[in-house]
């Protein structure tokens, strides 16, 4: 019995040892797997942490780059504003210097004249007692004798109307109207030294100079006046036109006029709520003494193979080709969209004065809530082609108006002798005179018509408003599906 019990006891002990051995082997197998799993989890956590750090660094880099771009833009804007402020101050100093010089020269001339008169009186011979003291004859300042026979001929009442219109780009009645409007501003009185130049001759000198672009020395010979006198007359009359006639003949339309303009443009193109057609042209100038790069016209230089400098004229016209808004004088290196952003029209639009209406521009302008431009992307649909064709008819109104402006006033086609700071006054006068001629149906000689060559540059940001893009698409859809679109694109 004892042997059996011992045997059983030994068997249990052996089985217990085997069980312990199995547990040890299992635990030894699980330990490496557990270590591998911990390593994988650790790696994943490290990778996730690394991704977070990379994302944070990328965000920091993008924010830094954005801040650099913003600061650069602000610095450029501040520099440009400072430049134009300094430019204005420079021109003001020049004007003040010229004014002081003119004042000194007039004072000196008057002093010399008075001195010569007194000297003549003192040196008069005492034996000249037979000369009558009551003769009433006045002494005058010596003036060079010049012939003004050409102007006297043009000023005759029986001078042919066609010849007058060919010379001054307008009829006699329109010329008389301008003289009457400006009479109170430019008329001068006779003095003891010389007779004043008549108002008609003053206006004629200015209009002839603008119409032909003739050099001042030739204008001087034609009208029998001095070169400096002619130059002074041109600036005085242009300034009077801008101050007296511009508020009357070049202004933004009232509500009744806007309604008529909308109807006329819709009749032309089928596009509703159009109140104007906009265009920007360049006027050649002589290389300025300061800020040459700002006025350098790269596109005209490349096309003409000749260094060109220019200033810009932006205008909005009604269906008759009459200017309703102009922005004059910005440097020729600026694109159309940049000139637009500097204009008073842009400021009025931002103030909400052009809400619900369209001004049609070329592809050089951005699409905005109030500026409607053609489609410019490649592979246009039929709807987009049809829209571009109809909007082109409105664009043509502004382009033809500028063509008549430059054809009627040939001084705009060549580099002028006028100083840069005086050019906006002269160009503004040309726009006002253009409006007067257009309102009075003064036709333009076909020989004077000129083709405009102004390069259109697509703006950097061509789309300024998503809602305007949807509105343009809706207009294009309505034009095509209501039978108002053209078919030339087919």
Contacts of 462 by beta carbon, 8 Å cutoff, 6+ apart: 366, 367, 373, 376
pLDDT tens, position by position, 8-37: 566 555 545 544 544 455 455 566 677 778
Tokens 């005085």 found at: 236
Cα–Cα distance, 90 to 132 (Å, whole number):
57
Least confident of 75-84, 200-209, 270-279: 75-84
Taking each helix axis as running N to C, give the angle between helix 227-240 and helix 172-186, from 0 to 180 degrees, rounded to the nearest 10: 90
Res. 136 pLDDT band, cuts 50 70 90: very low
Instruction: Render 301-343 in DSSP notation, one character per residue.
Output: HHHHTS--EEEEEEEEE-TTS-EEEEEEEEETTS-HHHHHHHS
Find how far residue 460's CA is from the centre of its chain: 17
Antiparallel, parallel or unpaired: β 358-360 and 371-372: parallel
Assigned token pair, 303: 């096309």
Cα–Cα distance, 309 to 286 (Å, whole number):
7
299 or 131, greater pLDDT: 299
CB atoms within 10 A of CB 354: 20
Cα–Cα distance, 462 to 472 (Å, whole number):
14
Given a contact cutoff of 8 angstroms between Cβ atoms, the answer to whether 289 and 373 are in contact is: no
pLDDT score, position 417: 77
Cα–Cα distance, 274 to 337 (Å, whole number):
19
pLDDT at 126 over 80: no
Mean pLDDT calculated for residue range 155-170: 92
Listed residue (218, 236, 235) closest to 227, CA to CA: 218
Contacts of 485 by beta carbon, 8 Å cutoff, 6+ apart: 270, 383, 386, 387, 389, 390, 476, 479
Least confident of 136-140, 229-233, 289-293, 432-436: 136-140
Contacts of 105 by beta carbon, 8 Å cutoff, 6+ apart: none
Mean pLDDT calculated for residue range 309-331: 95
Contacts of 329 by beta carbon, 8 Å cutoff, 6+ apart: 311, 312, 423, 424, 427
Q: Is 279 helix (H, G, I), strand (E, B) or coil?
A: strand
Domains of the chain: 148-247 (1.10.472), 253-482 (no CATH)
Mean pLDDT calculated for residue range 387-391: 94
Mean pLDDT calculated for residue range 242-251: 95
pLDDT tens, position by position, 403-420: 999 999 999 998 887 889
Assigned token pair, 245: 């006639």
How much of the chain exceeds pLDDT 70, in percent?
Answer: 81
The values of phi and psi at residue 325, to 5°, are -160, 140
Res. 129 pLDDT band, cuts 50 70 90: very low
Contacts of 400 by beta carbon, 8 Å cutoff, 6+ apart: 321
pLDDT tens, position by position, 255-311: 999 999 999 999 999 999 999 999 999 999 998 888 889 999 888 888 878 888 999
pLDDT score, position 461: 80
Cα–Cα distance, 329 to 157 (Å, whole number):
39
pLDDT score, position 134: 43
pLDDT score, position 446: 87
* Contacts by 298-301, CB closer than 8 A, 24 or more apart: 298/333, 299/455, 299/457, 300/332, 300/455
Least confident of 136-140, 280-284, 431-435: 136-140
pLDDT tens, position by position, 366-387: 999 999 999 988 888 999 999 9
Cα–Cα distance, 390 to 384 (Å, whole number):
10
């Amino acid at each position: 019995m004892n042997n059996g019990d011992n045997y059983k006891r030994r068997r249990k002990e052996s089985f217990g040892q085997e069980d312990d051995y199995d547990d040890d082997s299992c635990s030894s197998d699980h330990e490496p797997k557990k270590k591998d799993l911990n390593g994988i989890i650790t790696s994943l956590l490290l990778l996730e942490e690394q991704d977070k750090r990379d994302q944070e660094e990328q965000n920091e880099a993008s924010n830094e780059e954005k801040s650099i771009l913003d600061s650069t833009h602000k610095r450029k804007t501040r520099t440009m504003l400072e430049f134009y402020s300094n430019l204005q101050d420079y021109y003001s100093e020049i004007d003040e210097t010229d004014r002081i010089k003119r004042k000194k020269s007039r004072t000196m001339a008057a002093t010399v004249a008075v001195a010569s008169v007194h000297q003549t009186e003192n040196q008069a011979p005492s034996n000249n007692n037979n000369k009558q003291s009551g003769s009433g004859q006045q002494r005058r300042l010596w003036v060079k004798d010049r012939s003004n026979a050409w102007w006297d001929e043009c000023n005759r009442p029986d001078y042919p109307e066609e010849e007058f219109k060919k010379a001054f780009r307008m009829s006699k009645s329109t010329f008389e109207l301008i003289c009457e409007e400006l009479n109170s501003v430019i008329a001068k009185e006779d003095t003891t030294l010389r007779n004043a130049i008549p108002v008609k001759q003053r206006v004629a000198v200015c209009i002839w100079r603008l119409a032909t672009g003739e050099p001042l020395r030739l204008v001087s010979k034609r009208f029998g006046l001095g070169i400096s006198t002619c130059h002074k007359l041109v600036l005085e009359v242009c300034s009077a036109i801008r101050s007296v006639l511009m508020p009357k003949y070049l202004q933004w339309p009232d509500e009744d006029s806007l309604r008529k303009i909308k109807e006329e443009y819709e009749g032309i193109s089928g596009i509703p709520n159009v109140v104007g057609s906009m265009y920007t042209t360049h006027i050649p100038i002589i290389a300025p003494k300061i800020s040459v790069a700002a006025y350098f016209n790269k596109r005209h230089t490349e096309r003409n193979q000749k260094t060109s400098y220019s200033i810009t004229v932006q205008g909005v016209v009604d269906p008759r080709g009459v200017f309703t808004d102009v922005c004059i004088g910005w440097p020729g290196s600026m694109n159309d969209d940049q000139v637009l952003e500097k204009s008073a029209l842009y400021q009025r639009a931002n103030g909400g004065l052009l809400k619900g209406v369209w001004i049609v521009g070329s592809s050089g302008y951005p699409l905005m809530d109030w500026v409607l431009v053609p489609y410019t992307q490649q592979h246009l649909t039929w709807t987009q082609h049809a829209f571009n064709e109809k909007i082109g008819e409105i664009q043509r109104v502004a382009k033809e108006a500028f063509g008549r402006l430059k054809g009627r006033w040939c001084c705009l086609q060549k580099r002028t002798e006028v100083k840069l700071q005086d050019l906006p006054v002269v160009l503004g006068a040309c726009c006002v005179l253009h409006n007067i001629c257009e309102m009075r149906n003064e036709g333009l000689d076909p020989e004077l018509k000129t083709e405009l060559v102004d390069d259109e540059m697509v703006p950097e940001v061509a789309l300024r408003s998503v809602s305007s893009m949807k509105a343009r698409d809706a207009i294009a859809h309505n034009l095509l599906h209501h039978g108002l679109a053209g078919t030339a694109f087919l």
